[in-house]
Amino acid sequence: MIEAETGNGIYVLHVKKGYEDREKSIIRQFSALKLPFEWILDHDRDELTPEIIERFKCHSLLSGAEISCALKHIVAWNRIADGTGRGAFIFEDDVLLDIKNFKIRAEEALAEFYERWGECGYISLGNGCALYVPWTKLEKKTRLYRADYVRAADSYWITRETARKKLEWVLKHGIPLPADHLIDRIATELDIPILWLEPTIANQGSHTGLFPSSIQNLERGRLLDAIGWKVKIIRRKYLYPLLGIDMRKAD
């Protein structure tokens, strides 16, 4: 069903050189899943020119890495909008997929999406920023939960119509923010349904400590990052619901 619904639309954002460990990780994971995917290799940081930055109206405070990442997402949206599938998956190259449950949960999510939401929407697939639907709010036979904002840009699914809307917004407004905040603003301003998948089926290797961040220059070290990430998950996934905190709400 994944292939049938998306037209084999699985895109992975990647830098051509210097991240070979991520490349091997992606190939290994999708080989295990027996799913084809396409690399998005356009607009590496060292390929950015003043003309590109001006054409996309990139904010002056954005770093080269942030602009590169945002442009790679936009390239993926272009491919989806120009394709024939109803939607597609987009992953950043540090993603760690739940190999055992990925297909079944993705298929359940897509079936629920088309039954309840139609042809426009955004599904956050992973636990980016350690954000979860409170376990006190989970419902039987429900995979998708409405949220006020996206979790992160590392792993998501959008429809072709959503990709078209995003491209129209960028054409008008440019790139004022890093990718995750950009995606969030577009969805909010265009009233694109934002849905969180539960249970999640993806994690970020740059959060777990497996990979160093390609955008943030962290000085704590990967071990401390990994420990901090686990503590954040415990706090936000298990303790916050007991306090009545719902992380899906923007306020």
Q: Which CATH architecture has domain 9-243?
A: Alpha-Beta Complex (3.90)
Gap between the Cα atoms of 152 and 15, Å rounded: 19
Reported as a single tens digit per residue, the pLDDT across 62-118 is: 999 999 999 999 999 999 999 989 999 999 999 999 999 999 999 999 999 999 998
Q: Which two tokens stand for residue 230?
A: 């686990």
pLDDT 10s digit of each residue in the chain, 251 long? 565 444 558 999 999 999 999 999 999 999 999 999 999 999 999 999 999 999 999 999 999 999 999 999 999 999 999 998 999 999 999 999 999 999 999 999 999 999 999 889 999 999 988 999 999 999 999 999 999 999 989 999 999 999 999 999 999 999 999 999 999 999 999 999 999 999 999 998 776 656 665 555 544 556 777 788 889 999 999 999 999 999 999 87
Cβ neighbours for 45, distance < 8 A, ≥ 6 positions apart:
15, 64, 65, 67, 68
Alpha-carbon gap, residue 74 to 148, rounded angstroms: 22
pTM beyond 0.95, yes or no: no
* Nearest Cα to Cα of residue 183 among 159, 207, 166: 166
